[in-house]
Chains A and B, each alone.
Chain A
Amino acid sequence: MPPSPTNGVAVGQLAAEWRERLRKGERPELDDYLRRYPELEDEIRELFPAVVMIEELHDRGAQG
């Protein structure tokens, strides 16, 4: 059942899934999520790139 768009839980759960997939070395497609959850388009577009950026950066930053 698709997550409800009525609160932050739905997009948060998707962001957590997105984060886990990135950590596993997968390259999930933003468009795939937009197709599956059109009702969350604005939040996905706003938040998912930020998740990618943080995940890409933090391990390098941790070495400093």
Chain B
Amino acid sequence: MSITCDSSQTNRLLQRVRERGQEAFGDLFARHQERLRKLVRLRMDRRLRGRISSSAVLEQVRAEAGRRLPEYLSLVAQALAAPPVVARSETVPHQVSSLFLWLRQLTGEFLQALHQQHLGAQAWDAGQELSLYRGAMPLVHSGTLAAQLLGNRAASQSAIRADLMLRLQDALNSMDLFDREILALCHFEELTEAETAALLRIDRGAATKHYVAALKRLNEILKSIPGFFEKPDR
């Protein structure tokens, strides 16, 4: 799905954008839109969700990406011109040249700015984007992760659902931030192994090991919550 560090693909992209301008870029953006929407739903602060739709966010990101497209194309050109030992690395060039990862980064920056604008000092993870990601990217809140994992469980029994939600959120808060993020990337944002590794600036083997460790930890947590594995409401 993503544009990789491949000169023929890049040339086709350049050519299409040169010939058709924003229309061509719109087609490219559409290819990645649903995964970006998952990111927005996952990482936009819950206090803003009733006020700003994911579609509105994506429209703004698309416009911004269209304006900054020359910047992306320049990054790709630099990656292609880099010495082979760097250009063949599994991590940095992929992040630089993957259109999806570039769009994902712009979306994260947009969300971060939105949080600051609307929530200011109340933005829950202000200052917590730490060194995990290269730039601004709101971290996944444990409450959002808990809601994703609960799905329709006990949907018709609000007290039971609320109790499950609290227990799950408490348990998720005990997880390492890195573990929570890698699960969010692999499952909820649907990133591939290569994309996850590139984003976290580690090699694929290390990313896979981290994922397995995080999945085991999550599995233990879910098993420790009474009632979690009971059949969910349909």
Contacts and interface: CB of A to CB of B under 8 A. Distances in A.
Report whether chain A binds chain B: yes
Interface stretch (B60-68, B127-135, B147-155): B147-155
Given A12-B211, A15-B215, A51-B215, A58 B188 contact: yes
A55 B187 contact: yes
Nearest to A49: B219
Interface residues of B, number: 28
A50 B228 CA distance: 12
Given A12-B211, A47-B212, A60 B205 contact: no
Interface in A7-50: 7-9, 11-13, 15-16, 19, 23, 43, 46-47, 50
Nearest to B150: A61
A58 B187 contact: yes
Query: Chain B: interface secondary structure?
Result: helix
Interface residues of A, number: 25
Query: Chain A: interface secondary structure?
Result: helix
A58 B149 contact: yes
B222 A50 contact: yes
A64 B147 contact: yes
Contacts of A1: none
B149 A61 contact: yes
A13 B148 contact: no
Given A15-B215, A47-B219, A56 B151 contact: yes
Interface of B: 38, 41-42, 147-152, 183, 186-188, 190, 192-193, 205, 208-209, 211-213, 215-216, 218-219, 222, 232
Those 3 A-B pairs whose CB atoms lie nearest each other, nearest first: A12-B208, A57-B151, A61-B148
Given A47-B219, A57-B150, 5 more contacts: A12-B209, A15-B211, A23-B190, A61-B147, A62-B42
